[in-house]
């Protein structure tokens, strides 16, 4: 059996990949391997071409019916009708293509921003190159702050620690070494002599030889599985598919009935009745709906992008509005992902970190700075999060670090190790050397003999030790990570740099309590989520006490939440039936592995909930895929998690999710308004044509219906998509998975408002033909038909104002706040009236000029449309049917 790289020595691995541990590869060899093996990048699903995107827009059933109608109209010689139908269809396709291309460009730009660099040895020289140019056999140098650019077999390690949480789910950085390992198929977390692509170096330095690039890495293998994962249908897609299918078959049935009735009445030829049936189908089909939904979603993505939420998949905008459960990671999302000194203990007293430093605290600050491997690069702190927090503490108190480091240069050190849990440095001073030590309080106290109190060094008593340990316990119960600090002076550098020789007879200075603090805006966001009926969950790999403390500070965990914290180990003890019974009570999941996230998602989905899940690691990707809304971190997230997600947080902030939920609710409500507007208008058109046919009246021609649909459906419906959110939108309960576009009273509104539009249009036609202005029957019929045409279009425009709210009055919701909507109504009205007033268009649209009385009749119908709807809304509000 062939040995794996972690089972072999560095020298054997180098031989196997034809590399050189000392001088690296030559430039020519690198170029040859790049040609042979390709770039060191994760491949993506191939983007479709613009032509493929365009063709894909024509797969919708309603669009297919319209294309058939265009063919029939062309066969019947109705060229204008044919052109208008095709214009509507093509415009819809163009809108769809534009937005798909825009979404792909946005995510590509985000990936480019996060591409790392790599430090390599080539031809014996150290170089910095794009990580994508690495090849197998390259020698890579690692130091704190680096992103591992490929899979490596480590060849050197100096206190090297790597955060592999994105791949293994282990929250604590792994200490690395270079010794060959024994054992078959070791878990990734136990392969301590390997470094994996996209993991983060948190401490120390190292070197490794590249053994895998791109899709041949561990990250790449998971990416391969993700590309084969099934894409779930979103609630929006399901709603639109069901709505489109139902409408199409219903419309076809009505069209067939009208055709048969007309033929049985012997009122028209079969070709005339076929055109009537086409006109009715065109009237009923909301052909602009796909474009309007796409545009509304696209506008939503634009607004979300300004709030740092990048939407990768358009339907996700609407799904966010239905979210009932948000499972959030702690680090970086709920917290700042930046360890911070919160409290310190000196002079037998605990102080807040902002408290001005006394004499003892100044000594503590100096020890914190000297016993530290943090680097300051371009003003940024680079290194282990714990150590950078100590430097940050010094900076906040305006300590002269540059002067301190220049005056007391480090000359020796004993690195931290997991056995003694201490780190020691030796720095030169003008009168000798200072030895500084930091580490676990219990371990450091074993090596302490004195204590600094009020600037005086005195002997350490048992009472002092008990007090220090008590203060350590107090800080730990507040979920703070506690470090102890000590020092001693030495005239010379110890001859033996061992713990026994150096770390003794120390002077205790103080304790420091650190924590990754919550983001200041998250507490309000959690409260807003709860007010909106959304249940926030904390799901973290951190310790139980730390997770519970942060959750309590944020309001996720309250005093009423008894037994609401569970660990991954405890979760493993519950079978599916037991977990389903108890899942409602848990709000904090601590020390979980990535697979637990998937289990949590599926449990809530089994209860019928819409679940959003956050994640940043490769192993989080399956949970992101399974969730209704997968949310990846834009800053700390891996490329695989971003690729699996529906939304990427550019700022890694939980508050951004809540803002996106609000936008999602608004988007759904606006799409619902557009659907109410379109379907009630189309119902009015169908009713008008149907009754005209049954009565044997002259009917509206296809060109009339198509023009009304084009000018009244498109712009006003799109404008409804940018309506501001109604008040209290985040105080309502989530609509849930079972709600659809016709729920919450919309279906009833469509029916009565469409019926009203149809009856008013028929009434105006009846008035026009019963009380004609002209004695000539042909002119009288032409006038009546023109009045019906204008009335039907105008009723839809005035009705657009009423659809701004299902129940609220148009006079209280700010009817004219949306300037885009106002202009859309004006433009549509001009385009509609132009066909009547402009002589050249009269013949094309088969209409005649109207006199003042006829226009007055149309105006009365428009007024009645608004009045009746307002009266019905008043009754609904009066009798408790409120939004």
CA distances to 18, 122, 137, 615, 705 from 15, in Å:
5, 16, 9, 38, 77
Same domain, 723 and 857: yes
Name the active-site residue from 60, 329, 628, 646: 329
Task: Say if residues 25 and 137 touch (Cβ distance below 8 Å).
Answer: yes
Tell me the C-alpha to C-alpha distance, in Å, between residue 253 and each of 243, 257, 260, 519, 785: 15, 6, 11, 58, 26
* 223 within some domain: no
468 has a pLDDT exceeding 90: yes
Question: Same domain, yes or no, for 444 and 379?
Answer: yes
Query: Is 331 within a domain?
Result: yes
- Does residue 829 lie in a domain region? yes
Task: Write 389-392 long-range contacts (CB < 8 A, 24+).
Answer: 389/338, 389/339, 389/340, 389/341, 389/514, 390/341, 390/512, 392/338, 392/340, 392/341
Measured between alpha carbons, how far is residue 672 from residues 560, 815, 872, 882 in Å?
37, 17, 19, 16
User: Of 174, 193, 212, which residue is a domain's last?
Assistant: 212
Structural domain including 470 reads: 340-515
Residue 121: strand pairing partners: 126, 139
Q: Are 472 and 547 part of one and the same domain?
A: no
Spell out a b/e string for 383-410, using b for 16 or more CB atoms within 10 Å of the CB, else e: bbbbbbbbbbbbeeeebebeeeeeebee
Q: What is the SS3 assignment for 772?
A: coil
32-73 per-position pLDDT tens digit: 999 988 888 876 656 667 777 677 767 665 566 667 767 766
SS (H, E, C) 510-536: EEEEEECCECCCHHHHHHHHHHCCCEE
- Residue 56 in domain: no
Average pLDDT of 500-523? 92
* Same domain? 709 vs 752: yes
The model's pLDDT over 680-735, given as tens digits with 9 standing for 90+, comes to 988 898 888 888 877 878 777 777 877 887 788 778 888 887 888 777 788 788 87
Q: For residue range 114-134, what is the model confidence (pLDDT) as tens digits? A: 347 899 999 999 999 998 899
Token reading at 883: 């939004």
Q: Are 729 and 321 in contact (CB under 8 A)?
A: no
In the block, tokens 């009749």 appear at 857
pLDDT of residue 290: 66
Instruction: Tell whether 326 and 374 lie within a shared domain.
Output: no
Under a CB-based contact definition with an 8 Å cutoff, are residues 589 and 596 in contact? yes
User: What CATH number does the domain containing 580 carry?
Assistant: 3.40.50.1000
Angle value at C-alpha 477, between 474 and 478, nearest 5 degrees:
95
What residue spans of 776-847 are helical by DSSP H?
A: 777-802, 819-837, 839-845
Per the annotation, the verdict on 542 as an active-site residue is: no
In the prediction, which pLDDT does 113 show? Answer: 38
Within a domain: residue 620? yes
Q: How many domains does the chain have?
A: 4
Instruction: Say if residue 380 is in the same domain as residue 528.
Output: no
Is there a single domain that holds both residue 399 and residue 491? yes
Element (H, E) at 580: helix 576-582
Letter string b/e over residues 691-709, b meaning 16 or more CB atoms within 10 A of that residue's CB: bbbeeebbbbbbbbbbbbb
* DSSP class of 497: -
- What is residue 111's predicted lDDT score, i.e. its pLDDT? 43
| Residue 271 tokens, joined | 């070709």
What pLDDT, on the 0 to 100 scale, is given for residue 580?
A: 93
| Pair (590, 677) in one structural domain | no
Percent of the chain with pLDDT over 90: 37
* Residue 584 clears pLDDT 80, i.e. is over it: yes
* Contact between residue 39 and residue 133 where contact means Cβ atoms under 8 Å apart: yes
Residue 509's CB is within 10 A of a number of other CB atoms, namely: 27
Q: Report helix, strand or coil for 150.
A: coil
User: What percentage of the chain carries pLDDT values higher than 70?
Assistant: 85
Dihedral sign computed on CA atoms, order 439, 442, 445, 446? negative
**Cβ(681)–Cβ(711) under 8 Å?**
no
Same domain? 552 vs 495: no
Whether residue 64 lies inside any domain: the answer is: no
Query: CATH number for the domain including 480?
Result: 3.40.1110.10
Q: What are phi and psi of 228, to 5 degrees?
A: -95, 0
Rounded Cα–Cα distance for residues 406 and 394 (Å):
16
pLDDT in tens, 206-220: 999 999 998 888 877
Identify which of 44, 24, 42 has the alpha carbon closest to the alpha carbon of residue 33. Answer: 24
Same domain, 482 and 554: no
Q: What does the pLDDT look like over 529-542, one tens digit per residue?
A: 999 999 999 988 77
Give Cα 537 to chain centroid, integer Å. 16
Domain final residue pick, 658, 677, 708:
658
Amino acid 106: pLDDT: 38
3-state class (DSSP) for residue 428 = strand
Residue 720: give its domain's CATH number.
1.20.1110.10
CB atoms within 10 A of CB 214: 20
In a domain, 75, yes or no: no
CATH code assigned at 147? 2.70.150.10
Residues 397 and 500 in one domain: yes
Binned at pLDDT 50, 70 and 90, residue 107 comes out as very low
Q: Report the C-alpha gap between 696 and 380 in whole angstroms.
A: 81
427, 560: one domain:
no
Domain assignment present for 90: no
Residue 546 pLDDT greater than 80, yes or no: yes
pLDDT digits (tens, 9 = 90+) for 552-565: 999 999 877 778 99
């Amino acid at each position: 059996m062939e040995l794996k790289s972690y089972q072999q020595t560095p020298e054997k691995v180098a031989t196997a990949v034809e590399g050189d541990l000392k001088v690296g590869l030559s430039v020519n060899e690198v170029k040859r391997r790049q040609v042979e093996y390709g770039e060191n990048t994760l491949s993506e699903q191939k983007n479709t071409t613009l032509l493929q995107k365009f063709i894909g827009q024509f797969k919708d059933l309603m669009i297919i019916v319209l294309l058939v109608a265009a063919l029939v109209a062309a066969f019947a010689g109705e060229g204008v009708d044919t052109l208008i139908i095709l214009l509507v269809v093509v415009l819809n396709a163009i809108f769809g293509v534009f937005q798909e291309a825009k979404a792909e460009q946005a995510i590509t730009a985000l990936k480019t921003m996060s591409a790392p660099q790599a430090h390599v040895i080539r031809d014996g020289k150290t170089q910095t190159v794009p990580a994508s140019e690495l090849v197998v056999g390259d020698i890579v140098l690692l130091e704190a702050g680096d992103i591992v650019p490929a899979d490596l077999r480590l060849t050197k390690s100096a206190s090297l620690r790597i955060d592999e949480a994105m791949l293994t789910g282990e929250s604590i950085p792994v200490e690395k070494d270079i010794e060959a390992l024994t054992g078959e198929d070791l878990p990734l977390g136990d392969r301590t002599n390997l470094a994996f692509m996209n993991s983060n170096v948190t401490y120390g330095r190292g070197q490794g030889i590249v053994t895998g690039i791109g899709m041949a890495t561990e990250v790449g293998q998971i990416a391969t599985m993700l590309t084969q994962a099934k894409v779930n249908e979103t609630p929006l897609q399901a709603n639109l598919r069901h709505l489109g299918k139902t409408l199409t078959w219903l419309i076809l049935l009505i069209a067939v009935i009208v055709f048969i009735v007309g033929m049985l009445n012997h009122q028209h030829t079969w070709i005339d009745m076929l055109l009537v049936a086409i006109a009715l189908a065109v009237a009923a089909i909301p052909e602009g709906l796909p474009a309007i939904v796409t545009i509304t979603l696209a506008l939503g993505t634009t607004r979300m992008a300004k709030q740092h939420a990048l939407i990768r998949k358009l339907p996700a905008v609407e799904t966010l509005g239905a979210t009932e459960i948000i499972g959030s990671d702690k680090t970086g999302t709920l917290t700042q992902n930046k360890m911070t000194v919160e409290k310190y203990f000196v002079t037998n007293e605990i102080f807040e970190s902002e408290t001005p430093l006394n004499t003892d605290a100044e000594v503590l600050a100096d020890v914190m700075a000297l016993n530290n491997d943090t680097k300051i690069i371009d003003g940024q702190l680079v290194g282990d999060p714990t150590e950078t927090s100590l430097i940050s503490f010094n900076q906040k108190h305006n300590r002269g670090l540059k002067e301190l480091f220049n005056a007391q240069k480090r000359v020796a050190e004993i690195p931290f190790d997991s056995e003694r849990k201490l780190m020691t440095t030796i720095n030169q001073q003008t009168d000798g050397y200072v030895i500084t030590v930091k580490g676990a309080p219990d371990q450091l106290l074993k090596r302490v003999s004195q204590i600094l109190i009020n600037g005086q060094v005195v002997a350490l008593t048992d009472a002092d030790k008990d007090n220090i340990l008590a203060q350590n316990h107090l800080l730990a119960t507040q979920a703070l990570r506690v470090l102890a600090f000590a020092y001693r002076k030495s005239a010379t550098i110890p001859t033996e740099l061992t713990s026994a020789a150096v770390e003794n007879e120390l002077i205790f200075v103080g304790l420091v309590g650190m924590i990754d603090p919550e983001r200041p805006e998250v507490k309000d966001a959690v409260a807003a989520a709860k007010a909106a009926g959304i249940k926030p969950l904390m799901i973290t790999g951190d310790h139980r006490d730390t997770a519970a403390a942060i959750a309590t500070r944020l309001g996720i965990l309250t005093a009423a939440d008894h037994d609401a914290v569970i660990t991954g180990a405890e979760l493993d003890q519950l079978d599916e039936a037991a977990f389903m019974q108890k899942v409602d009570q848990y709000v904090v999941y601590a020390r979980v592995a990535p697979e637990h996230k998937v289990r949590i998602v599926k449990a809530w989905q089994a209860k019928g909930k819409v679940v959003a899940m956050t994640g940043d690691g490769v192993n989080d990707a399956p949970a992101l895929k399974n969730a209704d809304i997968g949310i990846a971190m834009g800053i700390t997230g891996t490329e695989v998690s971003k690729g699996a997600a529906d939304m990427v947080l550019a700022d890694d902030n939980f508050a951004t999710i809540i803002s996106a939920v609000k936008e999602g609710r608004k988007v759904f409500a606006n799409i619902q308004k557009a659907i109410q507007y379109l379907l009630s208008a189309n119902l009015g058109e169908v009713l008008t044509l149907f009754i005209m046919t049954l009565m044997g009246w002259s009917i509206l021609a296809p060109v009339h219906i198509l023009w009304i649909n084009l000018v009244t459906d498109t712009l006003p419906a799109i404008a409804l998509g940018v309506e501001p959110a109604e008040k209290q939108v985040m105080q309502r309960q989530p609509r849930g998975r079972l709600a659809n576009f016709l729920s919450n009273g919309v279906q009833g509104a469509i029916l009565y408002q469409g019926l009203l539009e149809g009856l008013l249009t028929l009434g105006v036609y009846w008035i026009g033909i019963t009380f004609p202005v002209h004695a000539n029957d042909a002119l009288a019929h032409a006038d009546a038909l023109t009045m019906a045409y204008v009335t039907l279009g105008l009723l839809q425009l005035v009705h657009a104002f009423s659809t701004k709210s299902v129940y609220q009055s148009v006079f209280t919701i700010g009817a004219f706040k949306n300037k885009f909507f106002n202009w859309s109504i004006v433009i549509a009205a001009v385009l509609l009236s132009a066909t009547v007033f402009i002589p050249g268009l009269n013949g094309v649209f088969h209409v005649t000029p109207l006199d003042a009385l006829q226009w007055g009749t149309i105006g009365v119908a428009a007024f009645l449309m608004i009045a009746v709807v307002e009266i019905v809304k008043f009754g609904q509000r009066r009798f408790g049917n409120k939004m």
